[in-house]
């Protein structure tokens, strides 16, 4: 078999066999297939697509390209959740302790932010001492001992995806639905997940900008799960405006803590309870969504979810004084409240613009190797559909220089659009696909 023939076959819109896909992925993993051939193949897939069967074979080949975690000796059912990435999405910080408090153990390997979308590891690392590099043994021991782990992906899981993703990032081949679906699902399968809740974001602040694209990605990922003997449910959720109010690492940790104490923005609380309820049903801790939701509401209200979060931080070496008193978390030297320049109904709070503004302030990274500033970011005080009076708080900017602050001010004001006419709030969820 030759890599070039496999590239030509995909270029000519033909379906690849399982053997061809396995040969190609093995060659990418070992380095026998050079980057230029892998990139040419990724472009052919982006342009010509893949069938669900090819995508499943690709997913399994990538999952099996490295270590496969087996959690069956540690938990009765290994559940996981994955968000396709968005702005202000700190759901994992609340949902994982919440379901763990309901008696459903969860060990999660999360990622860093890239581009305008934030990453769970960057958020957790704003807690001094918190270790996001657990070894496999530490991961398994902590999952067994406290039923909750939140760490980075081990280097041995799905290495083929690691290599391909890095290439896709610099060759314009990220936005391919089969490549995204196989990339996400290969990591979940390699991490041992048997049941997965997929939070597929849709809107201007997401990879999937339209409902049709999000639906296609969700259907493909749930089909891959079914074909590979896993269960999955996909929630299509809105990402036209940020989720909750805080965008930026320490700011988002503070908002998650507030939520775990029973407060938090209404949209974010609702989002977390819905995701948690689906996880509890998939993890067989509740008969149906209503019972699951009641269980989650109770564990949020009685402080058990917060206690789990604190236990997690402590177990992973974080200094709990910073979560007990979140005002100790990194704070930016320049904080400015931006008042509304006019009265009206808010018709848009452009999530991508707000996410990119936070990145420019230093909350995110343009390249994988860049460092992030944990303290900076934006707090959004209003949602689409709100009536706002002139002078009411619209945004708060947390910056590390005056220049960054004034650039952010202009950009944020342009990210907000207005009308004299009432405008309906955006839905939180569009569809559930299982």
What does the binding site for ligand URA look like in residue numbers (CB under 6 A)? Answer: 165, 174, 179-180, 183-184
Residue 70's closest CA among 149, 140, 13, 174? 140
Q: Are 12 and 143 in contact (CB under 8 A)?
A: no
Instruction: Compare residues 174 and 432 and give the one whose CB is closer to ligand URA.
Output: 174
User: Is 168 a residue of the active site?
Assistant: yes
Instruction: Compare residues 40 and 340 and give the one whose CB is closer to ligand URA.
Output: 40
User: Is 5 a residue of the active site?
Assistant: no
| 168, 230, 278, 293: the active-site residue | 168
- Burial of 431 by CB count in 10 Å (0-12 exposed, 13-18 middle, 19+ buried)? middle
Sign of the four-CA dihedral 273, 144, 133, 159 = negative
| 22, 82, 123, 411: the active-site residue | 82
Q: Helical H runs in 191-288? A: 211-227, 249-260, 266-282
The rounded distance, in Å, linking the Cα atoms of 314 and 220 is 38
Contacts of 157 (CB under 8 A, 6+ apart): 66, 67, 69, 109, 187, 190, 191
User: Is 187 a residue of the active site?
Assistant: yes
User: Is 10 a residue of the active site?
Assistant: no
The 231-238 sheet, strands edge to edge: 79-83, 195-202, 231-238, 429-433
Length of the chain in terms of residues written: 434
Q: What angle do CA 199, 112, 395 make, to 5 degrees?
A: 75
User: Is 2 a residue of the active site?
Assistant: no
Instruction: Compare residues 184 and 233 and give the one whose CB is closer to ligand URA.
Output: 184
* Beta carbon of residue 426, minimum distance to ligand URA (angstroms, whole number): 23
Instruction: Compare residues 180 and 329 and give the one whose CB is closer to ligand URA.
Output: 180
* Beta carbon of residue 109, minimum distance to ligand URA (angstroms, whole number): 11
- Burial of 250 by CB count in 10 Å (0-12 exposed, 13-18 middle, 19+ buried)? buried
| 65, 126, 183, 186: the active-site residue | 183
The rounded distance, in Å, linking the Cα atoms of 210 and 34 is 34
Instruction: Compare residues 230 and 381 and give the one whose CB is closer to ligand URA.
Output: 230
| 80, 122, 161, 238: the active-site residue | 161
Instruction: Compare residues 45 and 102 and give the one whose CB is closer to ligand URA.
Output: 45
Residue 61's closest CA among 151, 161, 148? 161
The rounded distance, in Å, linking the Cα atoms of 386 and 382 is 6
Q: Give residue number: closest CB to ligand URA.
A: 183
Sign of the four-CA dihedral 189, 62, 215, 365 = positive
* Beta carbon of residue 362, minimum distance to ligand URA (angstroms, whole number): 23
| 108, 123, 187, 201: the active-site residue | 187
Residues involved in catalysis: 82, 161, 168, 183, 187
């Amino acid at each position: 078999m030759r890599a070039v023939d496999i590239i030509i076959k995909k270029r000519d819109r033909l379906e690849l066999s399982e053997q061809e896909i396995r040969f190609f992925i093995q060659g990418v993993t070992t380095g026998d297939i050079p980057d230029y051939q892998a990139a040419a193949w990724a472009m052919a897939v982006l342009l010509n697509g893949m069938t669900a069967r090819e995508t499943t074979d690709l997913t399994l080949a990538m999952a099996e390209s490295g270590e496969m975690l087996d959690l069956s000796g540690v938990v009765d059912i290994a559940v996981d959740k994955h968000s396709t990435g968005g702005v202000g999405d700190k759901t994992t910080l609340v949902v994982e302790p919440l379901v763990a408090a309901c008696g459903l153990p969860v060990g999660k390997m999360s990622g860093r932010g890239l581009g305008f979308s934030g990453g769970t590891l960057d958020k957790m690392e704003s807690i001094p001492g918190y270790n996001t590099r657990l070894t496999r043994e530490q991961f398994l021991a902590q999952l067994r001992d406290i039923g909750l782990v939140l760490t980075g992906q081990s280097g041995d899981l799905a290495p083929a995806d690691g290599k391909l993703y890095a290439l896709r990032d610099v060759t314009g081949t990220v936005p391919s639905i089969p490549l995204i679906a196989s990339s996400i699902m290969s990591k979940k399968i390699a991490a041992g997940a048997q049941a997965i809740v997929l939070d597929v974001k849709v809107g201007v602040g997401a990879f999937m900008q339209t409902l049709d694209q999000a639906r296609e990605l969700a259907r493909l990922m749930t089909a891959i799960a079914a074909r590979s003997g896993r269960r999955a449910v996909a929630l299509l959720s809105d990402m036209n405006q940020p989720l909750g109010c805080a965008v930026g690492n320490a700011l988002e940790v503070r908002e998650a803590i507030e939520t775990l104490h029973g407060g938090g923005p209404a949209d974010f609380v609702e989002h977390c309870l819905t995701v948690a309820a689906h996880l509890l049903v998939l993890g067989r801790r509740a008969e149906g969504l209503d019972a699951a939701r009641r269980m989650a509401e109770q564990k949020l209200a009685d402080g058990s979810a917060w206690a789990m979060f604190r236990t997690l931080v402590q177990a992973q070496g974080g200094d709990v004084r910073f979560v007990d008193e979140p005002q100790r978390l990194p704070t930016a030297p320049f904080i400015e409240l931006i008042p509304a320049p006019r009265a009206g109904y808010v018709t848009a709070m452009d999530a991508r613009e707000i996410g990119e503004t936070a990145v420019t302030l230093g909350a995110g990274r343009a390249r994988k190797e860049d460092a992030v500033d944990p303290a900076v970011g934006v707090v959004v005080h209003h949602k689409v559909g709100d009536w706002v009076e002139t002078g009411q708080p619209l945004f708060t900017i947390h910056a590390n220089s005056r220049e960054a602050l004034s650039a952010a001010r202009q950009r944020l004001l342009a990210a907000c659009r207005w009308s004299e006419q009432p405008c309906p709030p955006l839905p939180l969820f569009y569809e559930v696909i299982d």
